[in-house]
Amino acid sequence: MDELNDSNNSLDDNDWTFILFLLFLDDMNAKDKAWVEFEHELIYQNRFSSSHAIVKELHRRKEDVQFILKKGTVLYRARIFKRSQFIDFVAYYLKSSGVSTQEIQQRLDSLNDWEKYFNLLPDMMTILNWNDLKNNPQASSMIEAHKKWKASRYKGYNAKESEAPPADYIEAGRANPDHIRYLYLSEDIDTPIYEVRPTIGQTVSVARFKVKENLRIFDLTVQLSDKYENPDYELPSLFNSIGKMFSKPYNGQPIEYIPTQYVAEEIKNMGFDGIRFRSSLNSGGINIMLFSDENCKPFGSDLVTVQNILLDIQKPAIYHIFNDKST
């Protein structure tokens, strides 16, 4: 016994830090394992009904994690822009030049972006040779077309195109099964661009949405603790593992979404209007998924082009347990 006490007394602060860290990891792993068991149950045993600890934790914490999304809040949604950037501008210019609607469409359908641009060059070069641009009808038409385009609310996709697609076209997502129409939004302008996973050089349409009334949101970003007595201590709760697993990156396989879809449906049945969760692709980014798009409508869109995709690479956490300056 004395030898054991001597052994315990010989542990320094770094040793205790490491032991506590391992205990902390063990507890976190146990809670994450509960999600793995939940996944297995839903995928292989019982798809539509569960009394698992994960489900009980959702109900137990519902009052603690309520988030009110206030009326007037602006949210963002992104889509890869698959049309020409110049289509609206060129169409307006051709129309103002007297070209019929049918002929405009025929011309636009047959040209790519560079061809659309060079299609304007003859007029532009002619304009540049004239001294008085203000009195030239072609110059005025081109300048007016560009002004109108810049002043328009929708420079990317229009209002209807910016919303969630029709139910028949919807595939399974993080929160929705096939053909269930939920609206995925983000709290900042950058996060939805990350979420659509663009490649360098692609153009993205970012729509702005405004919340029409106060909405009751289930907030999976909240960090909660389980408190214990005798002795007093606290550890991260199972709820934190639910939030982490809900935001976990997936490979897009529909079967992987079954647990998160079940969680979303459970939250929906509690009477919440949506879910707030962390982005899996943009560190610090927050997403909001609404069960109905009637309470949040688009009011404009802009175009952005992806110039770079940056990686933030760090050493694993195990490297940073001790701050030993001697090494």
One domain for residues 131 and 275: no
One domain for residues 203 and 289: yes
One domain for residues 65 and 105: no
One domain for residues 100 and 164: no
One domain for residues 70 and 197: yes
One domain for residues 38 and 134: no
Would residue 324 count as lying in a domain?
no
One domain for residues 221 and 298: yes
One domain for residues 269 and 198: yes
DSSP H or E run through 5: helix 2-9
Would residue 259 count as lying in a domain?
yes
Per-residue pLDDT of the chain (327 residues; tens, 9 = 90+): 444 444 455 555 565 565 555 555 555 666 788 898 999 999 999 988 999 999 999 999 999 999 999 999 999 999 999 877 777 777 777 777 778 888 888 877 776 665 655 555 445 445 444 455 556 666 666 677 777 777 889 988 999 999 999 999 999 999 999 999 999 999 999 999 999 999 998 999 999 999 999 999 999 999 987 665 555 556 678 999 999 999 988 876 788 899 999 999 999 999 999 999 999 999 899 999 999 999 999 999 999 999 887 877 888 767 766 655 544
- Of 299, 252, 308, 258, the closest CA to residue 280 belongs to 252
Would residue 195 count as lying in a domain?
yes
One domain for residues 100 and 174: no
Where in the sequence is the domain holding 248, given as residue range(s)?
2-81+159-310
Q: Please state the domain count of the chain.
A: 2
| CA 245/CA 261 separation, integer angstroms | 12
**Residue 117: its pLDDT value, please?**
57
One domain for residues 254 and 185: yes
**Residue 17: its pLDDT value, please?**
60
Regarding pTM above 0.85, the answer is no
DSSP H or E run through 210: strand 203-211
Strands 215-219 and 274-278: parallel
